[in-house]
Structure 1
């Protein structure tokens, strides 16, 4: 197995090798960057690229798909059913965003992207056969998105976590995240680990089980704080000011909004006067 860390967005691209070829996990955020990744694969000389895996539908993890197919030939592209069904919608939001970024040096290369959608999907788990190695794709639940997957390579004791785990910054809780469910999803991921498991995050340095458990605790504090505030009748508009949070408040705007929206009616009280 090999992990390449790229400075733009601190993205990680992982290769899993077997006797039948290489599987690439994620493909970066533009055709131009993906060509650099493709050159790195060739220089590695570890075998042909035979499949792609997209950990979720966000652009920085799949905008290189078309380039990989152009460079290495047709190959299956794996993702969860949810991710596949929401790639185009998510990409459109990205294109609209970059249209407005007239001073962004990456604007033109992102807008020049050609989408290549996943064509092999699953809902819960699937196993890829690399000849002498089995690779497991697992959807552990909703968290960063509703369609996250992790890649488990049992014989190497490695898990590729996508953006369920991030090292370069706290995990990004965006408008399509599930902050109340994310801690439980990470519990399932941790359950796939041994004490020696190596974990590749979507962004940042390679980490271990302890790091993932610590991140799960922080996400759990966020979820429980939202539940506590809502149960005490603190209105959403005041939650960021009233709560004691493990991260900077500006990172938690979407978390609070979505957390309040996702709570069952029975777990909310009428706002305090």
Structure 2
């Protein structure tokens, strides 16, 4: 597995790898680099480590996980003693998230490669904001709130006008609402993200092609429409098991099964009406 990078901003490189259409990012300063997300297996992480060495002679200051899902974290072990940084919730859930996906995905073509990977959670965690200094450049790591998971973070490189969004934004598929998502809170988290975007920002989604602020704003509005449809249907007394067929949704219904289930479970007490006959 040989990985190729494209520079999307000053000393900010992205590899859009074919496996899971996943983006792996590298940000360099004058003294060191930071690697953001590490791939879906330890072997994937080894290929990433080797690609970074070809990209720059600078040492790796830290590895960052944008959230806990296995496709973003299972390469962690390939980086040896390099500190791994993540939100505290993501770090706490990394092992369980990998085990759950492995148990639920026996027919994944590369499942043995995934199973053979050591699961290594972050060694350095934060709750809200932290900064990594890579030499005459700072990378801001920010938890904007819950959305795709409870431990999502974004990485902002202000002087390069680049924001690495993890799976809070996806380009190649509808946003991934999983069994650990927060569909009602996701729009507010993206409001924070949009407030961080500098003029002319380049945004690296978790999966797919690099996008701009207009794309982020459009996807934020679609995610908000999902949340508002859940609230509206529940207030109208629509049964949860009828919601997908009843609502007008901005994404394909098959992508929203967990969104509806999670959304209903997260509605505040008093917002549900008795089901209509």
Which residue of structure 1 lines up, in the alignment, with residue 14 of structure 2?
Answer: 3
Q: C-alpha distance in 2, partners of 1:265/1:46?
A: 56
Structure 2 residue corresponding to 1:93, chosen from 82, 100, 113: 100
Extract unaligned runs of 5+ from structure 2: 1-11
Matches within 5 A, 1:35-50: 35-50=46-61
CA RMSD of aligned residues (A): 1.0
- In structure 2, distance between residues paired with 1:166 and 1:94: 19
User: Structure 1 residue 175 and structure 2 residue 182: aligned?
Assistant: no
On the 8 A contact 1:127/1:134 being kept in 2, the answer is: yes
Equivalent residue runs for 1:101-140 within 5 Å: 101=107, 104-140=108-144
Q: What SS does structure 1 have at the residue aligned with 2:169?
A: strand
Map of 2:150 onto structure 1:
146
List 4+ stretches of structure 1 deviating above 3 A.
none
Q: Is the 8 A contact 2:143 2:154 kept in 1?
A: yes
TM-score normalised to structure 2 length:
0.94
CA–CA distance in structure 1, aligned partners of residues 63 and 47 of structure 2: 16
Tell me the residue number matched to 1:83: 90
Q: Which runs of 5+ in 1 are unaligned?
A: none
Say if 2:264 is the partner of 1:257: no
**Structure 1 residue 97: deviation in Å?**
2.5
1:26-68 CA-partner distances (Å, limit 9, x unpaired):
0000122222222211221242222100000000001000012
Structure 1 position 61 matched with structure 2 position 58: no
Report the secondary structure of 1:169's partner residue. coil
In 1, Cα distance between equivalents of 2:21 and 2:73: 15
Distance 2:198 2:32 in 1: 27
Assess if the C-alpha contact under 8 Å between 2:158 and 2:198 holds in 1: no
TM-score (norm 1): 0.95
1:239 paired residue among 235, 239, 243: 243
